[in-house]
Structure 1
Amino acid sequence: MSDREPRRTEERVAADDVEGRRALHRRGFRLEGRLREARPRGDGWVDELVYARLTGDPEGPEAHRHVMNSVTPRKRLIAHALVRDEAGRVLLCETSFKDDWELPGGIVEPGESPRDACAREMVEEMGFAPGVRGVLVVDWLAPYRGWEDAVELVFATDPVVELDKPRLRPDGHEILALHWLTVPEAQAKMTPFGRRGWRPRWRRRTRAPRSTPRRAWSVTDTGELIHASGRHPLRRLAAGAVPAAGLGSPT
């Protein structure tokens, strides 16, 4: 037997017991999990929520912040990449766990930036990650085949040149093969919500890349955002402000 004092106090409450949950929140208990149909009620069962508090947990306003962080919804974030070759074709991954194919990328880990997650997933799935650029698409994905809903970011990448293509190798576990496809061919292989992202701006991105890339927008010394086509300023930035990084060019 250990002589150490217990540091953990655990409480369980029915998932639909609103007052019971609020009482635990006021006492500084954090939500740690959900047990499906763990509590009998009448002729059926209800889910049970597991709350806990440790001896060293903070008190007062700081405790409230931790409690609210534990009980507020956490939505999955997925970072995908629109990878092109010099001919403008799109790279799709043939997976081992579903029939449809998908863009390279995956789930962003807690505390990880979406851009870093996109690069990491490409290395894990296909052994190589071209440079990750700005965000092309932000979309909401509805629940699908056992997955809860999620938010998807699709990043543009540097084009993959012929010399780099031999570096692309599927991991052999989740990813069985990699395919370079035209836009119509890729659309036919993706899920309905995956195809939904193929808007005209995507099609523009899948054309053969320019030999000399240029910035579509620039900021003048007076804070005006000017398009390279010579059109009038889109808007004036607040003093000292800079455009948001990593969100792509305004359209």
Structure 2
Amino acid sequence: MLLVNPTYKPGWDLPGGMAEANEPPDEALSRELKEELDLDITLQALLVVDWVPPHGPWDDQLAFIFDAGTLDDDRAVHLRPHDDELSEAAFVALARARELLGNRTRTRLNAALQAVQARRPLYLHDGRHVL
């Protein structure tokens, strides 16, 4: 599992980021992976949509998890952050990923794994299955 360590917040996260104005979520992910990790990817599937209610200073949001496929060994070995937003990028075992991720992201990751098994995307409300 590929995780990244952002410099602008504590803890590890899944690769990706925020969409810009009028940018579709899939294009936002592709852009973020190119900017941050110099990866050109082809998305395989939508796995999770999670509606997150307002919390702290943030308004509500939609969080997406996509299947971005598998990197070949050569690309994986040479993967490094390419901008100041990330201090590290690392491939870790699933159990370790679950330890490193915060609660919300861990819940989404678990739902994404369920979506792969179910062969359909899952819709969540703040981590709880709705559809």
Shorter chain as denominator, the TM-score bin is 0.7 to 0.9
Could you report, residue by residue, the CA deviation over 1:13-55 in whole angstroms, capped at 9, with x for unpaired residues? Answer: xxxxxxxxxxxxxxxxxxxxxxxxxxxxxxxxxxxxxxxxxxx
Q: Is the 8 A contact 1:128 1:167 kept in 2?
A: no
Match of 1:188 in 2: 99
The aligned counterpart of 2:42 is: 131
| Paired residues for 1:65-104 under 5 Å | 90-104=1-15
TM-score normalised over the length of structure 1: 0.43
Question: Percent same amino acid among aligned pairs?
Answer: 26
Q: C-alpha displacement at 1:147, in angstroms?
A: 2.9
Equivalent residue for 1:148, pick from 44, 48, 59: 59
TM-score normalised by length of structure 2: 0.78
Counterpart of 1:52 in structure 2 is none
Q: Identify which of structures 1 and 2 has the higher relative contact order when contacts are C-alpha pairs closer than 8 Å and 6+ apart.
A: 2
| Partner SS, residue 171 of structure 1 | coil
| Larger relative helix fraction | 2
Contact 1:127 1:167 in 2 (8 A): no
Alignment partner, residue 178 of structure 1:
89
Structure 1 counterpart of 2:120: 250
RMSD of aligned alpha carbons:
2.5
CA–CA separation in structure 2 for the residues paired with 1:184 and 1:144: 28
| Count of residues in Structure 1 that have an aligned counterpart in Structure 2 | 121
Contact 2:48 2:115 in 1 (8 A): no
Query: 4+ residue stretches of structure 1 with deviation over 6 A?
Result: none
**Bigger strand share:** 1
Q: How do 1:218-237 and structure 2 match up within 5 A?
A: none
Could you tell me how far apart the structure 2 residues matched to 1:109 and 1:172 are? 17
Q: Runs of 5+ in structure 2 lacking a partner?
A: 122-131
Does residue 161 of structure 1 match 2:85?
Answer: no
Q: Relative to 1, partners in 2 of residues 1:168 and 1:140: Cα closer, same or farther, differing over 3 Å?
A: same
